[in-house]
């Protein structure tokens, strides 16, 4: 078979596999190369998200939430259980099954859409008259020629200086998903999405969890009211979170990890833990791509330089997802993948970073889109806002999950929704209504005038919209 293609996508994560499928739908001859494999060498497309990120973490969160409910909340419903135990090995096995199902789903989608898949590591060889020559090393070793290349190679976890990941005691997100037994003491560096979600998993299962955060305040990316409510909830659950921390030393003796740090007040502290999860951000993955062979430029932080349309410095090479600027989110990569495939086909496409939602899948869930009240006021925007608590929502009461609230921020004059912030049950699902209204430049009044089914959690969004105009009906 001649390995010549219209488009080659390097990387089969959320951005890459979606770009490949959309390009194929648009009539292009497409190939996709991905290097993820299991221990037996079987391909595992889906990237970090599917293999060691979004999907497996949600599987563990679900299992640990069931355990938490059985231990602490079933009695409220009249359900009596005793001697509840967690089989960590089985929990991890279920997580792996969920991951495998997603891997196989992507391979099926490639076959369905006639995308040629190559399992191996890709690197640029040279630019030729026919396009670009790319070498694939691995199970499906080959030399591929493509007129257009889309780079979607994702990112790697950032380690602490002088403390490399061994995935036994010093864990990245990868090792944190495969801890074989519940640690007595677990330390986490970084109170972001990964730190809070994985901290929640192991706290629910019985670990004593301490999270150390360098930022001077908790959840600085979220609205201040949301962050305050979240901290209160996590404190109540037993997650120990310290902010304004400066790590001065960390030692791993193979049995335990000792972390020396200065508190926000300047006090010197030491923490000894069985395992340490380091979640201090991620770095773009370009290792081994041989970008210099074709002249693709990187910026000073190691990201592939792209313009607003994801074009690199080399004509007919595009880049998307974590390897380029913008939020490191799977759904951002997906949107860029679709947009680039459509731009290549001559269509008009856009990705609005201002309406990309952020979600933290803790309990309570946290989700937001647009700007915070603080950001808008710093910009000099005149705004009005409304909040509605889940404790006044009938469905939330019936569920027994009344923590948190929904908040909507609108322009004081035009009523256009500029930000939506939710902490509470199913916030990850509820945020979509606010994303949609913002995409259509809708007003808080629009939400307030739309009929929402009763009883539903979504009524909290409607009531928050009514609160913007100071006319809530159920509070």
The percent of residues above 90 in pLDDT, for the chain, comes to 99
All CATH 3.50.50.60 domain ranges of the chain, comma separated, are: 4-154+285-345, 158-280
205 and 92 Cβ atoms separated by less than 8 Å: no
Report strand pairing: 405-411 vs 246-252.
unpaired
Residue 197 annotated as binding site: yes
Helices (H), 113-181: 173-176
Q: What is the CA radius of gyration of the chain?
A: 24
Residues 369-378 have pLDDT tens digits of 999 999 999 9
The rounded distance, in Å, linking the Cα atoms of 340 and 343 is 5
In this prediction, residue 254 carries a pLDDT of: 87
329 and 166 Cβ atoms separated by less than 8 Å: no
In this prediction, residue 64 carries a pLDDT of: 98
Mean pLDDT value across residues 240-249: 97
Mean pLDDT value across residues 333-355: 97
The rounded distance, in Å, linking the Cα atoms of 417 and 71 is 41
Mean pLDDT value across residues 447-464: 98
Residues 249-292 have pLDDT tens digits of 999 998 999 999 999 999 999 999 999 999 999 999 999 999 99
**pTM over the 0.75 mark:** yes
Residues 69-106 have pLDDT tens digits of 999 999 999 999 999 999 999 999 999 999 999 999 99
- Is residue 418's pLDDT more than 60? yes
- Is residue 1's pLDDT more than 80? no
CB atoms within 10 A of CB 336: 27
Residue 192 annotated as binding site: yes
Residue 195 annotated as binding site: yes
Residues 245-256 have pLDDT tens digits of 999 999 999 899
The rounded distance, in Å, linking the Cα atoms of 86 and 72 is 14
In this prediction, residue 128 carries a pLDDT of: 87
- Mean pLDDT across the chain, nearest whole number? 97
Token readout for 211 is: 């999270």
Residue 322 annotated as binding site: yes
In this prediction, residue 299 carries a pLDDT of: 97
In this prediction, residue 130 carries a pLDDT of: 87
Alpha carbon of 104 to those of 97, 101, 109, 119: distances in Å? Answer: 11, 5, 9, 14
Nearest CA among 93, 23, 18, 25 for reference residue 49: 18
All CATH 3.30.390.30 domain ranges of the chain, comma separated, are: 358-469
Homologous superfamily of the 358-469 domain (CATH): FAD/NAD-linked reductase, C-terminal dimerisation domain (3.30.390.30)
- Is residue 300's pLDDT more than 60? yes
Residue 58 annotated as binding site: yes
Q: What is the CATH number of domain 4-154+285-345?
A: 3.50.50.60
Coil vs helix vs strand at 230: helix
Find the range with the poorest average confidence among 160-164, 194-198, 219-223: 160-164
Residue 12 annotated as binding site: no
Residues assigned a catalytic role: 454
Q: Is the bond into 455 cis (omega within 30 degrees of 0)?
A: yes
Residue 330 annotated as binding site: yes
Residue 190 annotated as binding site: yes
Q: What is the CATH number of domain 158-280?
A: 3.50.50.60
Q: Where are the beta strands (DSSP E) in 116-176?
A: 116-119, 121-128, 131-137, 142-151, 155-157, 170-171
- Burial category of 460 from C-beta neighbours within 10 Å (exposed 0-12, middle 13-18, buried 19 and up): buried
Would you list the DSSP string of 321-338? GGGSSS---HHHHHHHHH
Handedness of CA 181, 187, 189, 190 (dihedral sign): positive
């Amino acid at each position: 078979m001649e390995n010549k293609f219209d488009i080659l996508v390097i990387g089969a994560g959320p951005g890459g596999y979606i770009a490949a499928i959309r390009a194929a739908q648009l009539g292009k001859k497409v190939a996709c190369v991905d290097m993820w494999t299991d221990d037996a060498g079987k391909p595992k497309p889906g990237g970090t998200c599917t293999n060691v990120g979004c999907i497996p973490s949600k599987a563990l969160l679900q299992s640990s939430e069931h355990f938490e409910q059985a231990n602490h909340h079933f009695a409220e419903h009249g359900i009596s259980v005793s001697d509840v135990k967690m089989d960590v090995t089985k929990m991890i096995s279920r997580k792996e099954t969920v991951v495998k199902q997603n891997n196989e789903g992507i391979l099926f989608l490639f076959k369905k859409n006639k995308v040629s898949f190559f399992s191996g590591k890709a690197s640029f060889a040279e630019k030729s008259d026919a396009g670009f020559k790319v070498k694939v090393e691995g199970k499906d070793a080959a030399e591929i020629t493509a007129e257009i290349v889309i780079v979607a190679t994702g990112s790697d976890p950032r380690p602490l200086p002088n403390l490399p990941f061994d995935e036994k005691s010093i864990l990245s997100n990868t090792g944190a998903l495969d801890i074989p037994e519940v640690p007595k003491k677990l330390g986490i560096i970084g109170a972001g999405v990964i730190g809070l979600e994985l901290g929640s998993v192991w706290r629910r299962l019985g670990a004593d969890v301490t999270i150390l955060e360098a930022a001077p305040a908790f959840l600085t990316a979220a609205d201040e009211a949301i962050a305050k409510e979240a901290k209160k909830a996590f404190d109540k659950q037993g997650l120990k979170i310290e902010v304004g921390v400066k790590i001065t030393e960390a030692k791993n003796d193979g049995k335990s990890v000792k972390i020396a740090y200065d508190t926000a007040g300047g006090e010197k502290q030491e923490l000894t833990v069985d395992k340490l999860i380091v979640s201090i951000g991620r770095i773009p993955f370009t290792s081994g791509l041989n970008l210099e062979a074709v002249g693709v430029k990187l910026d000073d932080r190691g990201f592939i330089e792209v313009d607003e349309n994801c074009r690199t410095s080399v004509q007919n090479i595009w880049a998307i997802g974590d390897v380029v600027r913008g939020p490191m989110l799977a759904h951002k990569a997906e949107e860029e993948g679709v947009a680039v495939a459509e731009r290549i086909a001559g269509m008009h496409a856009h990705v609005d970073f201002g309406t990309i939602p952020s979600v933290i899948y803790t309990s309570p869930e946290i989700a937001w889109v647009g700007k915070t009240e603080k950001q808008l006021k710093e910009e000099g925007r005149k705004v009005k806002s409304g909040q509605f608590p889940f404790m006044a929502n009938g469905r939330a009461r019936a569920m027994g999950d009344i923590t948190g609230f929904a908040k909507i921020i609108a322009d004081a004059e035009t009523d256009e929704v500029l930000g939506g912030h939710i902490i509470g049950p199913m916030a990850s699902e509820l945020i979509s209504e606010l994303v949609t209204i913002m995409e259509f430049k809708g007003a808080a009044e629009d939400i307030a005038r739309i009929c929402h089914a009763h009883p539903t959690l979504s009524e909290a969004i409607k009531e928050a919209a009514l609160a913007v105009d100071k006319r809530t009906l159920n509070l």
